[in-house]
């Protein structure tokens, strides 16, 4: 495993990352909401990158994992800034972004901001615009009225917190209202048994992304995380196939 390094992006903020040198385009893994760079999919991809001599970057957004900052002080816009800082300061040359859930939203935003750098995208249950469709009207009113929403997590003991700042930032960065000006190859993986992100959103993404090279793979019994052994093997095959085609 590569050592943790830090990128200073402010006087009191350092982002933790692990970078593996190798052949490009470099793989850049973007975790989901309240996730970090040491999740199962990110680690499995890094191990594959080591075996195949591929360059790979994984990192923690501010307020997450080993990075500095308070989680509740972050927004979708600040995390987009973290992704762009990593692309600008840590990894050189073309990249393939692999985004899981919210990371799939961030990969799209990064590709729009750095089209000359992003050679391909791979979404795992990509969740653009989830601040719009992922909350009931009552939940949205709680966020606006109380400044935060706290819910039990189905994936662990730590509750899921959504702040008003994050929610408003997400609403300002929605993408599914019209064509998405991304021209690189895109691969979308989505479980049809996903209880969190309806698989139909990958169909919507496929329709809206401008690139002619967009492929979507649905896994009928796949859940949201797609972290089973067969799911990770499918992800690695998808990443490898796209890299070889570039």
Nearest to 239 by CA among 15, 17, 23: 23
Q: Which listed residue (35, 67, 100, 101) is catalytic? A: 101
224 is catalytic: yes
Q: How far apart are CA 129 and CA 168, in angstroms?
A: 11
DSSP 133: H
DSSP 155: T
221 is catalytic: no
Q: How far apart are CA 81 and CA 86, in angstroms?
A: 9
Structure tokens at 163: 């702040």
Domains in the chain with CATH codes: 5-245 (3.40.50.1820)
Each of the 246 residues of the chain gets a pLDDT tens digit; together they read 789 999 999 888 999 999 999 999 999 999 999 999 999 999 999 999 999 999 999 999 999 999 999 999 999 999 999 999 999 999 999 999 999 999 999 999 999 999 999 999 999 999 999 999 999 999 999 999 999 999 988 887 889 999 999 999 999 999 999 999 999 999 999 999 999 999 999 999 999 999 999 999 999 999 999 999 999 999 999 999 999 999
Q: Which listed residue (60, 194, 202, 231) is catalytic? A: 194
Q: Which listed residue (46, 169, 190, 224) is catalytic? A: 224
82 is catalytic: no
pTM for this one?
0.96
Are the C-beta atoms of 103 and 79 separated by less than 8 Å?
no
Are the C-beta atoms of 56 and 26 separated by less than 8 Å?
yes
């Amino acid at each position: 495993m590569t050592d943790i390094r830090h990128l200073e992006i402010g006087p009191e903020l350092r982002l933790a990352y692990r970078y593996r040198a190798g052949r490009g385009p470099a793989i850049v893994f973007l975790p989901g909401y309240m996730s970090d760079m040491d999740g199962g999919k990110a680690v499995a991809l890094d191990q594959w990158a080591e075996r195949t001599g591929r360059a790979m970057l994984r990192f923690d957004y501010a307020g997450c994992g080993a990075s500095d900052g308070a989680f509740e002080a972050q927004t979708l816009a600040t995390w987009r800034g973290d992704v762009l800082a990593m692309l600008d300061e840590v990894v050189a040359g073309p990249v393939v972004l692999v985004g899981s859930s919210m990371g799939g939203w961030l990969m799209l935003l990064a590709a729009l901001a750095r089209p000359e750098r992003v050679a391909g995208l791979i979404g795992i249950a990509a969740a653009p615009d989830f601040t719009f469709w992922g909350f009931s009207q009552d939940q949205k009113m709680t966020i606006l009225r109380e400044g935060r929403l706290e819910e039990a997590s189905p994936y662990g003991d730590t509750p899921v917190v959504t702040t008003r700042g994050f929610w408003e930032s997400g609403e300002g960065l929605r993408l599914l209202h019209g064509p998405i000006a991304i021209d690189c190859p895109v691969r979308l993986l989505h479980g049809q048994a996903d209880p969190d992100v309806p698989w139909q959103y990958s169909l919507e993404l496929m329709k809206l992304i401008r690139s002619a090279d967009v492929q979507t793979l649905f896994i009928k019994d796949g859940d949201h995380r797609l972290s089973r052994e067969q799911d990770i093997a499918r992800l690695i095959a998808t990443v490898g196939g796209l890299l070889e085609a570039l």
